[in-house]
Amino acid sequence: MEKKSISIEYKEYNNIEDLPLMEQSLLKKAISATKGAYAPYSRFRVGAAVLLSNGETVIGANQENAAYPSGLCAERTALFSAHTLYPEATVRAIALTAVDQEGNMLPTITYPCGACRQVMAEYEMLAKSPMNIIIGSSSAIQTFEGVSSIMPFIFDNLI
Ligand SMILES: [Zn+2]
């Protein structure tokens, strides 16, 4: 038996103005995207913004449904829409955040769920370069270079 370990690196900023301009712009679009959330059950409003290799930005917000599993997270809403609209483009970056009823970012960071991380990982493989991930809250903004930073062991046996 051999004991192994992995480590990850990420950057943490205290406020949105400290981010590099591209990341700042994308996070602001994610905040704005929360207006499109349909979250009558959880009242948890999440927004995502995806920056593509062709320069386009595609946004998404969480969509809930009375039949709970039928809803979809903001990240996958944005990623699936991005690939539908621009199948030739690849994903460069994704920003996401959750807001309160007034549209202000929540004080705690909202990380992507496992299913969204898996989807992000596959689009990253298509891009053949690490996806820049920006996750915002009112107390801290974290940025990650590559999906493996938030999901090191993905399912890729069929790829
Ligand atoms: Zn998710």
124 is an active site residue: no
Q: CA–CA separation, 29 vs 21, rounded Å?
A: 12
The residue annotated as part of the active site, out of 2, 64, 75, 122, is 75
User: What's the gap in Å between 77 CA and the centre of ligand 1?
Assistant: 9
Give the structural domain span for 47: 11-148
pTM exceeds cut of 0.85 = yes
Within-domain flag for 4: no
Within-domain flag for 38: yes
Question: Are 82 and 52 within 8 A, CB to CB?
Answer: yes
Within-domain flag for 117: yes
pLDDT on residue 159: 76
- Averaged over successive runs of 10 residues, the pLDDT of the chain (159 residues) comes to 96 96 98 97 96 98 97 98 98 97 94 98 97 97 97 89
3-state secondary structure 86-112: CCCCCEEEEEEEEECCCCCECCCCCCC
Within-domain flag for 3: no
Within-domain flag for 126: yes
Within-domain flag for 36: yes
Backbone phi and psi for residue 22, each to the nearest 5 degrees, phi listed first: -60, -45
CATH code at position 38: 3.40.140.10
- The total number of structural domains in the chain stands at 1
Q: CA–CA separation, 118 vs 151, rounded Å?
A: 8
pLDDT on residue 158: 86
Within-domain flag for 1: no
User: What's the gap in Å between 75 CA and the centre of ligand 1?
Assistant: 6
Within-domain flag for 153: no
**Strand pairing of 141-145 and 11-13?**
antiparallel
